[in-house]
Structure 1
Amino acid sequence: MELRIVGENGEVLDERHVGCIEFRGNAATRGYLRNEVQTARLIHDGWLDTGGLGYLAEGELYVTGGLKDMIIRAGRHFFPYELEEAIGKLPGVAHGGVAVCGRPDAQGGTARLVIIVETTSTDEAARTLLKTRIKEATVVCFGAPAEEIALVPPDTILKTPGGKIRHAATLKRFEERGQATTRLGLSRQWVHIAVGSLALACRNLAARSARILRGLACGSAVLLRGLWVRCRVAFSSDTARNWRIAARACRLFLRVAGVRVTLDGERTTLLDTRPIFAANHTSYLDVIVLTAALPWPVNFVAKRELSDRMIVGLILRRLGTRFVERDVFSGSVADETQLVRHASEGDSLFFPEGTFVRSAGVREFHLGAFRAACVTQRPVAPVVLRGTRAVLRDGDWIPRPGPVTVSVFAPIAPAGADFFAAARMRDAVRDVIVQHSGEPDTTQ
């Protein structure tokens, strides 16, 4: 994540200068859903406005307050928190019952200070004394008295469910209804919270129900189409025919799941060069997406234990999958020999990362398959999968609707047959995948 402090005109401020806190990075939101106006207010040239104010000093961030709570009086900037704390310690003031607000005054070009204080006192003399003490505390903190002080019953000041004061909402209600009718009882606040929570619960229930139904539809599609493909390819050794059958089944499943796949790449060049394909690995959907998207059969390189799975094992074998041991990319002589043999037999597609995790990022590439490509003098074409991790993350079993892109880039030819040539080819292929995957490089 990157962090900066900017001034009113968007200029970056030096250390120990208070300004707006902005940040950017891979964990930052891209904006509000279907709300371009709010997104434009939130994001400025890729930087997200936190709404907070602070300053940097020796690499540390010091938060001074929230921009929406700041009060500007006679050119000076004040935050309400210190004055609220001071008034809250006065006798007769309800705990947490102080809201210091700034009311804009267009005529005066400054803000009028409005202090709303909750108290249970009904004695006129005690209330007058409390107002006097509030004025004294205001002069100490702000250098001048408030334009308006309102003593209100408890539970009048609006707060968030977490107990934070809603300054703008409290001031607005005070202005609309006046001091005498400002009170919004605790019971009514709980009613508002309950109604909002109920509406959210209903929306969550509807979304969860839709997800369950989609999961049932996807599960049924996997089971039925998987059995259908298994029956169709069980007694056929024609890998091209079997690939076409499996590809149709995969495309049907993706349509049921709401996954839209787009293929980018120079098909003619790839067919002429007959390269080995190396793809980033982000999801269990990767094999399904590649089978559905690629217009020509390839031989997947998969871990050997998959060959023993009841439905998947037979299908993969009939598709010409090359099975290797789990530690195939460890660099052992036996594994390398096996990969060389597979590479010399025809097309292959492998995942040099070996496996995937839930968090985003392109991890280290194993070297074994690139050494096999160099020994057989076959080029390697980088394949970039984008969107599969978001559609089905590790640990999830129900895919989410969304777009997926498969991009096939120009093959990279080996520049030798030794270990160093394989390392250079690995790094070159990985650089292309990192550049176009939209995910961070975990090795940096």
Structure 2
Amino acid sequence: MERAVGEITGIRKGCVAVFGGGDPRSGTERIVVMAETKERDPVRRADLERSIHALAETHLGAPIDQVALCPPHTVLKTSSGKIRRAANREQFERGLDTSRVRSPRLTLSLITLHALLRTLGERLRTLPRTLYSGYVWLLFLLLGLPLWLGVLLLPGRRMRWRLARMAARGFAGLSGIALHVERAGKPGDETPGVIAANHASYIDGLALTAALPGPLCFVVKDELRTNPVLRPLLQRLGCEFVSRGDKRAVAADVERLKRRAAAGETLLFFPEGTFVAQPGLLPFRMGAFVTAAMGQLPLTPVTVNGSRAILPAEHWSPRRGRLLIVVGEPLRATSADWQGAVELRGRCREMIQTALEE
């Protein structure tokens, strides 16, 4: 019967439910045909009802009690497409509105409105983060430009470093980033030598500048020498540019770094050399550990926590967060050779991994 009704022109195929239901007025059983149609013309709808009644008498040999023409997507089905007769009977008995047929134009308008409201809701949910991100970058420019000019103009490196540390601390405070430092020893007990820190974000340098006493000599990749904005800033702050491919250039870099450390400067390395969005540590390069081992210098492991959550790799929309800098106990190589450097790297990595909150 359902299939036959679905073949009537104007009735949607596969969208017909025939079920029995009790009549609350007479207390008897009645047969109902519930069929979906797009027809809105009353005359045409009346013709459809007559056609269904006639078809029912032919198939069932008896008249049906009621035809309920309803809009598309009213007849309930299972996930496999089968008619849910009990559920359709229940919604019919609750008082199905069989007269309302939504026009295609109205349906499209409602779908469009729903999509617009959903998009607006998503924009409103992300608005605070967007505003915060814009504020942080504006703050970065407002502090960065005076810092850049000040570093270029101030005569002494200690004065330049003091200005850089003041700007880094001010940036963290004004941007709502909580900065905490945990030290294995007392503040001021730091020994000049080598610092090896994990690298998780663009803001690691800023965090360490704000957290550690200076001046520090950041050891940075040679590619930054070609950056017209960063090169003069890094040079005036006393950073060292090192090669990462040519063995002879690397050897010369190590000797130069050893001389600076022997002169009482503190060298700061990021042994990973780069950073990614995924949490955890990348393999450590040997530069920091060869410098410390060959120069018989103390090496201090430093762990930066929280920077990846604030500004991950390949993202330019910072978030509020907490930075925790963990300064470990200084380590010394067991021997002033390659084996000593390898062993030192292993101990340093283990200490950073232990303090890392990722």
TM-score w.r.t. structure 1 length?
0.56
Q: Which residue of 2 aligns with 1:283?
A: 201
Give 1:361 deviation, angstroms: 3.2
Q: Counterparts of 1:124-163 in structure 2 under 5 Å?
A: 154-156=72-74
1:384 is matched with which residue: 294, 303, 317?
A: 303
**CA 1:154–1:335 in 2, change beyond 3 Å: closer, same or farther?**
same
The 1-side partners of 2:195 and 2:4 are apart by 74
The 2-side partners of 1:425 and 1:311 are apart by 35
**CA 1:236–1:336 in 2, change beyond 3 Å: closer, same or farther?**
same
1:241 is matched with which residue: 159, 175, 182?
A: 159
- Map Cα deviations across residues 303-353 of structure 1 (whole Å, 9 max, x no partner): 234345344323322322122224489994334333333433321111001
User: Are 1:344 and 2:259 counterparts?
Assistant: no
User: What SS does the corresponding residue of 2:205 show, helix, strand or coil?
Assistant: helix
- Map Cα deviations across residues 21-54 of structure 1 (whole Å, 9 max, x no partner): xxxxxxxxxxxxxxxxxxxxxxxxxxxxxxxxxx
Q: Counterparts of 1:339-418 in structure 2 under 5 Å?
A: 339-345=257-263, 346-418=265-337
- Map Cα deviations across residues 60-100 of structure 1 (whole Å, 9 max, x no partner): xxxxxxxxxxxxxxxxxxxxxxxxxxxx99995978979xx
Which is richer in strand?
Answer: 1
**Letter of the structure 1 residue corresponding to residue 261 of structure 2:** A
Q: Which residue of 1 aligns with 2:238?
A: 320
The 1-side partners of 2:357 and 2:285 are apart by 21
The 2-side partners of 1:89 and 1:429 are apart by 76
Q: May I ask how many residue pairs the two structures share in their alignment?
A: 309
**Letter of the structure 1 residue corresponding to residue 309 of structure 2:** A
User: Are 1:222 and 2:140 counterparts?
Assistant: yes
User: What SS does the corresponding residue of 1:233 show, helix, strand or coil?
Assistant: helix
Give 1:229 deviation, angstroms: 1.7
- Map Cα deviations across residues 290-311 of structure 1 (whole Å, 9 max, x no partner): 1122244322111234345344
**CA 1:119–1:362 in 2, change beyond 3 Å: closer, same or farther?**
farther
- Map Cα deviations across residues 379-426 of structure 1 (whole Å, 9 max, x no partner): 222212222122222223332222222222222221111211211111
- Which segment drifts farther, 253-262 or 361-370? 253-262
**Letter of the structure 2 residue corresponding to residue 244 of structure 1:** R
Q: Which residue of 1 aligns with 2:351?
A: 432
Higher alpha-carbon Rg: 2
Indicate conservation of the 8 Å contact 2:182/2:324, yes or no: yes
> With CA pairs under 8 Å and 6+ residues apart, which has the higher RCO, 1 or 2?
2
Give 1:378 deviation, angstroms: 1.9
- Map Cα deviations across residues 205-234 of structure 1 (whole Å, 9 max, x no partner): 345655554444333333332221233232
Give the aligned CA root-mean-square deviation in angstroms.
Answer: 4.4
Give aligned-pair identity as a percent: 31
Unaligned runs of 5+ in 2: 17-32, 38-48, 60-68, 81-85
**CA 1:230–1:332 in 2, change beyond 3 Å: closer, same or farther?**
closer
- Which segment drifts farther, 275-284 or 254-263? 254-263
Q: Which residue of 2 aligns with 1:80?
A: none
**Letter of the structure 2 residue corresponding to residue 312 of structure 1:** L
